[in-house]
Structure 1
Amino acid sequence: MTLLWVVLGAAVGAPMRYLVDRAVQSRHDSVFPWGTLTVNASGSLLLGFLAAAPVSAAVFAAAGTGFCGALTTYSTFSYETLRLAQDRSHLLAGLNVLGSVVAGLCAAYCGLLLAQAV
């Protein structure tokens, strides 16, 4: 049954990633991957919240593993960083790595604090 919850969450998270990424990126005239940064930070925020909130195993499987797992994307982050480096945008590539890691950790911590406050 847990697998079904994960699949259902992922079925919502994957299209959400695409839609949010495209919506955010279309608003920036930049090669910097703002859309990927946004989905990764927002997924980290939600996962941090879920990790600290008293939710059932089914909710965590659907929302945490399924939805957040499909919403966030390490592979796209890696590819876009590599692409920036190959295009000789080394500063942007470095900022993407640093910004993504810091944003993800800070967002997860904020989610944890938010869950504890609620």
Structure 2
Amino acid sequence: MTGSQGSSKTQSQDSSAADSSEPEHSPAAVEWAHRRLQKKRRFRSNLVTGVVINCFFVAAWPFSGTQYFWPGWSLGVCCVLLLLDAWQTFTYGPITDKEISNECSDMETGSHINIKP
């Protein structure tokens, strides 16, 4: 009796351990998630850097002796670059099999070439 109780206890422990473990992900999905996390981390770093530099410029502006708000150029360029970085970081998803199939079909038919005679 102890032998059957021990084996049933082991089976229940194995099934509960399998239920609580994380699901397996494909290597491609893990690689894509890793790259996406790196992009998000880089974006946050760029955002903080831009804010710090532009705060320094705005704080230095009153001491420059000019009435012209020259830090506006830095603010504008920084905002445009951060918007482009955010767009690339947060809008693109993984490439799907359908997209790959469509691209291969376009290449085979020559419709990927947009040169008109």
Alignment TM-score, normalising by the size of structure 1: 0.35
Query: Which structure's CA Rg is the greater one?
Result: 2
Q: Which has the higher contact order (CA 8 A, sep 6+)?
A: 1
Alignment TM-score, normalising by the size of structure 2: 0.35
More helix by share: 1
